[in-house]
Structure 1
């Protein structure tokens, strides 16, 4: 895969809790310079990022229920609706890990389905935090995400330990099939990491170190 094609599938992210408005401005300028198609920022900064990036046809995405996933469905739906009003065009929601661990599968499925409904057709990805799950839980989570009508299963936030691995991407791809989205995020730091992840079955990559990845450097970021 050449670097332009790789750039096209990387979601450039800036989700650190201490990010300032000046940081967001510099981040958006980098996004334009390097040609990324989608960025992810925290909900507070969606309007500002949208203002800077929409003239360049760059999408602004937002994490919902970030970064633990334990918010109520009502809260996640409200977050989603407000983010859309503010200009977001992609949704990455956190799965309810506590409900999943409790085997409350109807709760998990409904939580996702209601956010998907609130997204009104926008691409919706569901983060499962693979490092916190057993293999059976990863499989079950992926199946619930497909059943709930989302568009992608996503490996991790990078904020709760672990991240994308080739083995997890292969597993998720085997569960969801060839036509469902798989997004790898957390710990993808180099061009070689990214290529290995894509070859394992990822359609999208989320990375705060996206520039290092596409320029052949190494990022120290975990998310």
Structure 2
């Protein structure tokens, strides 16, 4: 994997509750300079598309707890796409999954997937799930035609682990996200089966490529 291919697997991320347009612009400019994607709050997507037209824009839906109504998530996804988002990361309703309401989880995700002609990733919040729940979430994502499963929001307990990525990659391509701050950690996730890395330390990760080439 050359440097450009590696950088294209990084979603350089800024999603905190105090995120300003200035923060987003800095992420976009870094992503553009280093060949990364950018994962940003939905309220800034339209501006971001104008500011950095060559950057792949990822945004979130039902973030960070996943407890919005299905109609709200569907509308969020559609609005983000209309603002020129290239990919949508939607948060699983963990409570629904844990209560065994698998039909509701699958139907909600199907609505989001059907609402937009762009890839949808299901953020499963793996740190909150048992092994069985994690596998069920991934099965439901595959049944609903999600493009990816993503480990975590980074705003709950824990983040990406090699073990979770290995399990998740049995079902769909994986975006490893949550607590990944270095090139070495990114390589561990890729070697475990991840196809994408979500991290606020995207620049450090890509710049680490030359020192520790894949």
Determine if the TM-score, normalized by the shorter chain, exceeds 0.5: yes
Deviations 1:73-92 (A, max 9, x none): 00001101111111111010
Structure 2 residues without counterparts, runs of 5 or longer:
210-214
Deviations 1:104-127 (A, max 9, x none): 00000001000000012x111000
2:50 counterpart residue number: 51
Does 2:192 match 1:205? no
Deviations 1:155-190 (A, max 9, x none): 00111121111111111123x1xxx31110001111
Q: Please say if residues 124 and 152 of structure 1, whose CA atoms lie closer than 8 Å, have aligned partners that are also in contact.
A: yes
> Would you identify which runs of 4 or more consecutive aligned residues in structure 1 move more than 2 Å?
1-5
Q: 1:214 aligns with which of 201, 206, 211?
A: 206
Q: TM-score if structure 1 supplies the norm length?
A: 0.90
What is the correspondence of 1:58-97 to structure 2 with a 5 Å cutoff?
58-97=55-94
Change (3 A) 1:2 1:190: farther
2:32 counterpart residue number: 32
Q: CA deviation at 1:96?
A: 1.0
For the aligned residue pairs, the C-alpha RMSD in angstroms reads: 1.3
Q: Secondary structure at the match of 2:169?
A: helix
Q: TM-score if structure 2 supplies the norm length?
A: 0.94
Does 2:99 match 1:107? no
Q: Give me the whole-angstrom Cα distance separating, in 2, the residues matched to 1:213 and 1:25.
A: 19
Aligned length: 209
